[in-house]
């Protein structure tokens, strides 16, 4: 009888060990793996929810950002637009009531492919202007150019005063961004 009990006890231990090794331990490992996956998914969900909130906020700002981009694209066109540039300068001179006597370039502009030289961002188009008018009219020209949609930077100016009017020489920079430079910067 004692042997039967020992054999039964050994059989129970073997069955328990078999159950533990065969069923319980792999399932525990699987449950642990699932819990780790759940935590990873919760972190990813939290990240995505945060990103969603940021996108909702950004969506509200989108019209203002598009308007700002349109202003910048107008201020720095995709090509030099020399005809438009000259018309703008003459128009600004007319508004300021000065006489634009000369438009030149202190250095020849390079209209080559900017991507070949690694240029990114706006390309400078240097201009030299000569105008005549009263000092107040010449000063008004600066404000008119500053108010233009296209970006102008006045780097240097000199005024030669006269008895009635003054002659002024200006070094002005206009800008453009070729399609290749814009793509390279993106």
Calpha distance 80→73 (Å, rounded): 12
Give the residue carrying structure tokens 């399932």: 27
Give yes or no for residue 25 having a pLDDT over 90.
no
Same-domain status, 88 and 177: yes
Q: Which structural domain range is residue 86 located in?
A: 82-185
Same-domain status, 123 and 34: no
Residue 183: the pLDDT is 43
CB 41 within 8 A of CB 138: no
Same-domain status, 20 and 51: yes
The pLDDT tens digits of the residues spanning 36-82 come to 889 999 999 999 999 999 999 888 998 998 898 888 888 888 888 88
Number of domains in the chain: 2
Same-domain status, 97 and 175: yes
Residue 144: exposure state from Cβ atoms within 10 A (0-12, 13-18, ≥19): buried
pTM over 0.75: no
The pLDDT tens digits of the residues spanning 111-169 come to 555 555 565 678 888 999 999 998 889 889 999 999 999 999 998 888 887 777 888 99
pLDDT band of 10, cuts 50, 70, 90: confident
């Amino acid at each position: 009888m004692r042997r039967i009990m020992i054999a039964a006890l050994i059989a129970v231990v073997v069955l328990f060990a078999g159950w533990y090794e065969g069923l319980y331990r792999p399932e525990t490992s699987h449950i642990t793996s699932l819990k780790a996956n759940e935590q990873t998914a919760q972190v990813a969900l939290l990240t995505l929810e945060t990103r969603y909130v940021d996108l909702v906020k950004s969506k509200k700002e989108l019209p203002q950002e598009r308007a700002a981009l349109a202003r910048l694209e107008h201020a720095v066109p995709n090509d030099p637009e020399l005809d438009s540039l000259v018309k703008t300068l003459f128009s600004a001179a007319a508004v300021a009531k000065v006489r634009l006597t000369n438009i030149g370039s202190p250095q020849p502009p390079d209209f080559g492919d900017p991507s070949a030289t690694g240029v990114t961002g706006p390309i400078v188009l240097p201009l030299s202007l000569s105008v005549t008018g009263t000092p107040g009219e010449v000063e008004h020209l600066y404000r008119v150019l500053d108010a233009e949609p296209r970006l102008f930077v006045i780097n240097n100016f000199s005024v030669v005063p006269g008895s009635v009017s003054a002659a002024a020489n200006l070094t002005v920079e206009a800008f453009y961004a070729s399609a290749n430079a814009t793509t390279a910067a993106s």
